[in-house]
């Protein structure tokens, strides 16, 4: 999986669970100021695109660090939105959907305030760093259905004293 595929999967999953019903908040690349529009918006930046887990070189699982920032006018809103972001990334359904693609959320850092003062106006920013485990060769081999019964195969022997 390349960076674009991982980021697209992550953003798509986050967009499935808007903070407010029907809300569409834009995502922009951190280094492109021309694409920033009206607040609120989210920005992303890949801190470490490929951190090895083992010594293999091909087809191994690897860690990817992505910094996500929330930009808002209101300091209370920015905190609410970063809390929403952390809650979604800790929820079972988004984690399961990402896992089916071979992406696991390993860690979401504590929020880090990154406010910028432009003297005329202040943009409130809060960022979190997300550590993802990406398994490029993952294949979902789970089977549909339910387990109807379990037949344990063990004996308990009483020891004589």
What is the average pLDDT value for the chain, to the nearest integer?
82
Give residue-wise pLDDT tens across range 77-130: 888 999 999 999 999 999 999 988 889 999 988 888 776 655 555 578 888 999
CA distances, 74 to each of 44, 52, 63, 107, 145 (Å): 20, 39, 33, 27, 48
Q: How many residues does the chain have?
A: 161
Q: Give domain status of residue 142, yes or no.
A: no
Give residue-wise pLDDT tens across range 8-35: 999 999 999 988 888 888 888 876 655 5
Residue 62 backbone class (left: φ over 0; alpha: ψ -120 to 50; beta: rest): beta
Q: Give domain status of residue 140, yes or no.
A: no
DSSP 91: S
Question: Half-sphere exposure (CA, 13 Å, Cβ side) for 121?
Answer: 9
Give CA–CA dist 112/34, Å, rounded: 24
Q: Give domain status of residue 51, yes or no.
A: yes
Q: Give domain status of residue 157, yes or no.
A: no
> What's the pLDDT band for 45 if we cut at 50, 70, 90?
confident
Q: Looking at residue 143, what is its pLDDT?
A: 72
**CA proximity to 12, closest of 78, 79, 88:** 88
Q: Give domain status of residue 147, yes or no.
A: no
Q: Looking at residue 83, what is its pLDDT?
A: 92
85 SS3 class: helix
> What's the pLDDT band for 145 if we cut at 50, 70, 90?
confident
Q: Give domain status of residue 96, yes or no.
A: yes
CA distances, 28 to each of 57, 61, 146, 150, 160 (Å): 31, 27, 42, 50, 72
Q: Give domain status of residue 90, yes or no.
A: yes
Q: Give domain status of residue 75, yes or no.
A: yes
Look up the CATH number of the domain holding residue 111: 3.30.2000.30
- Looking up tokens 């939105």, which residue turns up? 81
Range of the domain at 14: 3-134
Give CA–CA dist 140/126, Å, rounded: 35
Enumerate the β-bridge partners of residue 62. Answer: 52, 134
Domain count, the chain: 1
Residue 85: count of CB within 10 angstroms of its CB: 23
Q: How many Å is the Cα radius of gyration of the chain? A: 21
> What's the pLDDT band for 39 if we cut at 50, 70, 90?
confident
Which pair of structure tokens corresponds to residue 103?
């992406």
């Amino acid at each position: 999986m390349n960076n674009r595929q991982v980021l697209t999967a992550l953003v798509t999953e986050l967009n499935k669970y808007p903070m407010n019903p029907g809300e569409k908040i834009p995502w922009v690349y951190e280094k492109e100021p021309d694409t920033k529009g009206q607040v609120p918006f989210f920005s992303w930046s890949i801190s470490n695109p490929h951190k090895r887990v083992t010594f293999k070189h091909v087809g191994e699982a690897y860690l990817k660090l992505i910094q996500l920032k929330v930009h808002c006018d209101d300091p209370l809103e920015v905190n609410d939105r970063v809390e929403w972001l952390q809650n979604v990334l800790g929820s079972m359904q988004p984690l399961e959907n990402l896992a089916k693609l071979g992406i696991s959320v390993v860690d979401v850092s504590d929020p880090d305030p990154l406010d910028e003062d432009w003297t005329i106006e202040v943009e409130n920013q809060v960022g979190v760093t997300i550590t993802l485990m990406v398994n490029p060769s993952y294949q979902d081999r789970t089977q549909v259905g339910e387990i109807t019964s379990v037949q344990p195969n063990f004996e308990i022997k009483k020891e004589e004293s």
